Amino acid sequence: MTKRIGLVIYPGFQALDMAALTVFEFANTQLAQPLYELATLSVAGGPIKSSSGVALDSQPVGWGGYDTLLVAGATHEPAPQPELEATLKAAAGATRRLASICTGAFILARTGLMDGKRVTTHWAIGRRLQELHPAVVVDEDKIYVKEGAIWSSAGVTACIDMALAMVEGDLGSDIARKVARAMVVYHRRTGGQSQFSAIAEIEPSSDRVKEALLYARDHLHKELSVEELAARVHWSPRHFSRMFQAQTGMAPAKAIEKLRVEAAHELIEQGHSSVGRIAEMTGFGDEERLRRAFLRAYGQPPKVFVQQARLRNEHIYLS
């Protein structure tokens, strides 16, 4: 049975959010018979101009029943749109998935459908969303969040991750992986993953320190001593340690631990449940070192995250 997927747009929407529909388009190419029927929708239909000035044609949002409605975001907080919001609220009962992309969360939040639910949005406006809608539980550091029929994604390209998760729920991980490969994107950043990366957060100012961090990230299974990292960028260990501390505000060992913790957390989100194996893969060596690092970083041991990831993944497949 064909599933209708609609991207709801409005004047000033972010055109890059069309990438969410592209995920479903690519999924169709992996099937003998296309599953998804795609459309761009607006309140009255007709051409709608995006924030970039490019206009897209659209059909009236009331046209037909939809399996999934995705509310596009904008480069700013969208103004109240009573007619659109009322239409979305009315459609919720007959729509299997109702999702917001980036600042589209403001539109969906105004319908009341997000009340009491955990949602995400672009990290820069998460607090604003929480202030305006205190009944919504805003988790501003997630790539995407699924709470029952309500989905939400972080800024811009995070809609691809959310759409891949939807495809995976519909068609399985093999198809989703093929779609990601065809689109040349990562399969798939999990919903629980932070919007930030450890390297971006550390923000070294020189190419040499950044090169050392990138090398470390790709070789976390190794010991990664100061001597090894310094040799990688052709500095003495003493000079490397001094420059690293000056540029990042932390010792190399602390930065490496952040990279290891981030990698371990991502493995957990991908479904790895053996804490011992994760400790080996990320260079911690044993479960106790991994446990202590997680307590320092998150205040909780890795087994808590394993349980949470298992529950989230079960919800995706059961929905």
Does the pLDDT value for residue 12 go beyond 50?
Answer: yes
Could you tell me which of 107, 105, 111, 108 has the C-alpha nearest to residue 124?
105
Asked if 175 and 259 sit in the same domain, the reply is: no
Residue 98, token pair as written in the block: 């109702």
- The CATH number covering residue 295 comes to 1.10.10.60
Taking each helix axis from N to C end, the angle separating 237-248 and 207-218, rounded to the nearest 10 degrees, works out to 100
| Residue 11 belongs to a domain | yes
Asked if 246 and 307 sit in the same domain, the reply is: yes
Domain that holds residue 70: 3-183
Describe the chain by its helix, strand, coil percentages, rounded to 5: 50, 15, 35
- pLDDT digit string, tens, across residues 243-268: 999 999 999 999 999 999 989 988 88
Residue 216, token pair as written in the block: 């470390």
Asked if 239 and 119 sit in the same domain, the reply is: no
* Confidence tier at 70 by pLDDT (50, 70, 90): very high
Neighbours of 146 (CB within 10 A): 23
| Residue 193 belongs to a domain | no
Asked if 35 and 62 sit in the same domain, the reply is: yes
Whole-number Å distance between alpha carbons of 58 and 72: 13
Does the pLDDT value for residue 192 go beyond 60?
Answer: no
183, 214, 244 - which closes a domain: 183
Whole-number Å distance between alpha carbons of 130 and 127: 5
**What pLDDT score was predicted for residue 319?**
44
Asked if 234 and 300 sit in the same domain, the reply is: yes
Does the pLDDT value for residue 98 go beyond 70?
Answer: yes
Whole-number Å distance between alpha carbons of 69 and 24: 13
| Residue 123 belongs to a domain | yes
Residue 156, token pair as written in the block: 């811009």
Whole-number Å distance between alpha carbons of 24 and 166: 9
* Confidence tier at 284 by pLDDT (50, 70, 90): very high
**What pLDDT score was predicted for residue 52?**
94
Asked if 274 and 299 sit in the same domain, the reply is: yes
